[in-house]
Amino acid sequence: MLDSRDLRLPRIADPCVLVMFGITGDLARNKLLPAIYDLANRGLLSPSFSLVGVGRREWDDDAMRNYVEKWARAGARTPWRDTTWEQLAAGMRFVTFSSFEDDDAYQRLTGVVEDLDASRGTAGNRAFYLSIPPGWFPAVTERIARSGLVERDERAWRRVVVEKPFGHDRASARELDELIGRIVRPDDVFRVDHYLGKETVQSILALRFANTMFEPLWNQRYVDHVQITMAEDIGIGTRAGYYDTIGSARDVIQNHLLQLLALVAMEEPTSMDAAAVRAEKEKVLASVRLERDGVLDLDATTSRGRYAPGYQGGIAVKGYLEEDGVAPDSRTETFAALRLEIANRRWAGVPFYLRAGKRLARRVTEVAIVFRQPPFLPFDDAATAGIGANTIVLRIQPDEGVTLRVASKVPGTQMELRDVTMDFGYGATFNEESPEAYERLILDALLGDAPLFPHQREVDLSWRILDPVIEHWAASGSPEDYRPGSWGPGDAHDLLAREGRAWRRS
Ligand code: BG6
């Protein structure tokens, strides 16, 4: 008999080989390799787990081990244990590719993987992690298909894990999907949106659907508007090569912010199965409209900006155009804001304002549900002068938690009202430290658990929303400059001010 406590048994991935394309990139160094070490250290990978790195360097296996050790030590969340490391390192191999079109290298890769299957008992289970620029997808997928690495084998699984960008518009996202579809079945494709791996993002569905008190208010009768903010205080760092062809809207709105919107606005799923949750997310994404009251005016409902040179935290910082690797005539935005509506019974008429940007005042990601004013206030005007709107803030990061903002009486002999906050903080409530998003996502991909990975249909629907905005911007000159450490361009402020509203903290 299964005891309910058995549900808490750790989920351990099958023995398998993870082939990582892009192992020398920023993402692998900073996130993927430390996450793999942490998973191994938590005992969640099989002892046979093997990691094959693919790259242009002339490395042998030991050189790759040194490299992985350096970055795992630098980024791991859990303590360093030599026994964990030695076991992990024993399953590491490196295959030098002179380019992604190097046919011989795919043959060598096949040999290495087959050898691991035989020597480490990885049983033919393979995951290919593609953390490479999308331009290389045709060359890589075609050669993986030819190599026999993904040939069907009913006793083993073959999966592809893909990093964004999932295309640069709707048409290219469809092409990309078609390419990946040539090597594995749709259910074996795991598209990474690392926001879905964050505990606080997963917890949105818990807050909404495991409680009684929020859902009755979660609709156009009570909600005035919703603000979704992803602000970063950093610039683009060394990522110009990636970022300058992408910009803020493609980098984070197409994926992270629209996923947040979907989780906040969707209907209750029939269960927490991947198919049930995705079906609700798809419905709500399909209902998103750029029109305001039926009229499309993207100049009024979108805003974009680019950080100028200036000071942040008292330190002189470069403007976007001066960053190394940015084209001098670049028109890429580092800040983007949009006003969206959702055409359904629950949300008709409620604006959803989304904003994201680099070099803003501080690092914060949050969703604020801002409620309507009470229809009647039985107090003097002077008593209520200090109160704003009731707000539920889902604090995604840093300072993860939930805040409720409500009015309260100020102690004293007079009736004077002021806003107070009720706070729940993950850090103060739970002892366990949250795993990094990538730990959860890599583990889920190796387990074949799909709920935290967006389906191609969600990707497609997100591009449906963004394509007209990006086309409009492409035809309308350069983004407006904003000061580092500010909350973005003046235009973004106007976007809400025009409707008698204001961004939080701006
Ligand atoms: C990535 C973007 O998806 O998310 C980066 O490509 C951004 O530009 C990063 O800096 C932010 O992630 P997090 O987890 O720090 O909010």
- Taking only the tens place, the pLDDT of each residue in 440-483 is 999 999 999 999 999 999 999 999 999 999 999 999 999 999 99
At 137, is the pLDDT very low, low, confident or very high (cuts 50, 70, 90)?
Answer: confident
Q: What domain count does the chain have?
A: 2
Cα–Cα distance, 468 to 471 (Å, whole number): 5
| Tens of pLDDT, residues 175-217 | 999 999 989 999 999 999 999 999 999 999 999 999 999 999 9
- By DSSP bridging, strand 352-357 and strand 223-231 are parallel
What is the span of the domain harbouring residue 142?
17-163
User: With 50 as the cut, is the pLDDT of residue 1 above it?
Assistant: no
Quote the pLDDT of residue 432: 78
56 annotated ligand-binding residue: yes
Q: Is 232's C-beta closer than 6 angstroms to any atom of ligand 1?
A: yes
pLDDT of the residue at 133: 84
Domain assignment present for residue 124? The answer is yes
Alpha helices (H) in 287-420, listed in sequence order: 298-301, 381-384
- d(CA 235, ligand 1 centre) in Å: 11
Whether residues 463 and 325 share a domain: the answer is yes
Residue 343's CATH number: 3.30.360.10
Report the share of the chain in percent with pLDDT over 90: 88
**Domain-located, residue 240:** yes
Binding site membership of 400 for ligand 1 (Cβ less than 6 Å): no
The DSSP result for 145-181, as a single string, is HHHTTT---TTS-EEEEEESP--SSHHHHHHHHHHHH
- pLDDT, residue 8, reads 59
Domain co-membership, 126 together with 261: no
My answer on whether 399 and 491 are in the same domain is yes
Q: Which pLDDT does position 299 carry in this prediction?
A: 96
Atom of ligand 1 nearest to the CA of 251: 6
Ligand 1 centroid to Cα of residue 194, in Å, is: 8
From the candidates 256, 455, 472, 493, which is the catalytic residue?
256
364 lines ligand 1 (CB under 6 A): no
Reduced to 3 states, what is the DSSP secondary structure of residue 410? Answer: coil
First vs last C-alpha separation in the chain:
56
pLDDT, residue 154, reads 87
Question: What's the mean per-residue pLDDT of the chain?
Answer: 94
Q: Which of 27, 30, 31, 194 to mutate to test the pocket of ligand 1 (most atoms within 8 A of CB)?
A: 194
Which 3 state secondary structure label does DSSP give 367? strand
pLDDT score of 293: 87
Domain end: 163, 185, 205, which one? 163
Examine residue 362 and state whether it is found in any structural domain, yes or no.
Answer: yes
Residues 334, 472, single domain; the answer is yes
* Residues 75 and 223 grouped into a single domain: no
Q: Mark which of 113, 142, 163 sits at the end of a domain.
A: 163
* pLDDT at residue 236 in the model: 95
Question: Tell me, what's the pLDDT at 151?
Answer: 87
Q: Does residue 179 belong to any structural domain of this protein? A: no
Pocket test for ligand 1, best of 26, 192, 251, 335 (most atoms within 8 A of CB): 251
* Final residue of a structural domain among 140, 163, 186: 163
Q: Is residue 339 part of a domain?
A: yes
> Which residue, 486, 493, 505, 499, is CA-closest to 303?
493
Report whether 198 belongs to an annotated binding site: yes
In-domain check, residue 345 = yes
How many A from CA of 111 to the centre of ligand 1? 36
Residues 291 and 159 in one domain: no
Residue 7 — very low, low, confident or very high, per pLDDT cuts 50/70/90? low
From the CA of 397, give the closest atom in ligand 1.
Answer: 16
CA distance linking residue 196 with residue 277, whole number of Å: 12
- Mean pLDDT over 258-284 rounds to 97
Q: Is 455 a catalytic residue?
A: no
**Residue 237 counted as domain residue:** yes
- Looking at the fold, whether 159 and 249 belong to one and the same domain comes out as no
- CATH number, domain with residue 120: 3.40.50.720
Does 434 have pLDDT greater than 90?
no
* Secondary structure (3-state) at 446: helix
**Whether the CB of 251 sits within 6 Å of ligand 1:** yes
For residues 258-277, give the mean pLDDT. Answer: 96
Question: Do 159 and 202 share a domain, yes or no?
Answer: no
28 CA distance to ligand 1 middle (Å):
14
- 181 within some domain: no
What's the whole-model pTM score? 0.94
CA 251–ligand 1 middle distance (angstroms): 8
Same domain, 123 and 215: no
Find residue 355's DSSP bridge partners. 229, 337
The answer on 207 and 126 residing in a single domain is no
463 shares a domain with 404: yes
* 326-368 pLDDT, tens digit each: 999 999 999 999 999 999 999 999 999 999 999 999 999 999 9
- Residue identifier of the C-alpha nearest atom 15 of ligand 1: 232
pLDDT recorded at residue 11: 84
Looking at residues 103-128, what average pLDDT do you find? 95
Q: Specify which residues 20 forms β-bridges with.
A: 53, 129
Shared domain check, 139 and 59: yes
204: Cβ–Cβ under 8 A, 6 or more apart, which residues?
260, 263, 264, 367, 394
